[in-house]
């Protein structure tokens, strides 16, 4: 980036984060390096991958050793290990018979199904605000207000 307000020869280039994968899992690929080239001859690579809590420096081997790690454990070692849902968590998704006195045989949807329509509406509204130029803080403020009466 160079403009009238930027003295010297500062240049910024964008890194293409594509992994070469074409499936849906490439959508949020975030492995990246911070590169600082001082004078065209001396440069530094490194930085903190804030989203995943590790340093990208000389102590981090960017090549995963499959005898030591499953891929995600190596690159995202601060994340909880994958696990299936517990029985109690599965039960939250099931339809529940309504046993109230006026139920007349109605069935209430499970927890997740009951909230999907409202969640979809809220996400659509947030996307519209983002497309209209709202800042991230404004979207967070909007999301906070959604849960209050």
Q: Are 129 and 146 in contact (CB under 8 A)?
A: no
**Domain coordinates of the chain in residue numbers?**
1-83, 87-149
Residue indicated by tokens 């039960």: 91
Query: What confidence tens digit (pLDDT) does each residue in 138-149 have?
Result: 766 666 665 555
Query: What confidence tens digit (pLDDT) does each residue in 18-27 have?
Result: 555 555 554 5
Distance CA 32, CA 54 (A): 12
Per-residue tokens: 80? 């909880």
pTM above 0.85, yes or no: no
């Amino acid at each position: 980036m160079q403009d009238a307000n930027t003295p010297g020869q500062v240049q910024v280039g964008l890194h293409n984060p594509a992994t070469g994968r074409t499936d849906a899992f490439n959508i949020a690929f975030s492995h990246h390096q911070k590169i600082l080239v001082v004078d065209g001859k001396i440069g530094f690579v490194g930085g903190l991958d804030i989203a995943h809590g590790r340093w990208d420096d000389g102590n981090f081997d960017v090549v995963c050793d499959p005898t030591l790690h499953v891929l995600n454990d190596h690159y995202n070692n601060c994340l909880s290990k994958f696990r299936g849902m517990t029985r109690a968590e599965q039960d939250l998704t099931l339809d529940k018979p309504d046993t109230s006195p006026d139920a007349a045989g109605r069935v209430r949807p499970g927890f997740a199904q009951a909230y999907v329509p409202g969640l979809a509406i809220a996400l659509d509204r947030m996307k519209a605000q983002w497309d209209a130029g709202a800042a991230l803080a404004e979207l967070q403020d909007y999301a906070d207000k959604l849960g209050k009466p």
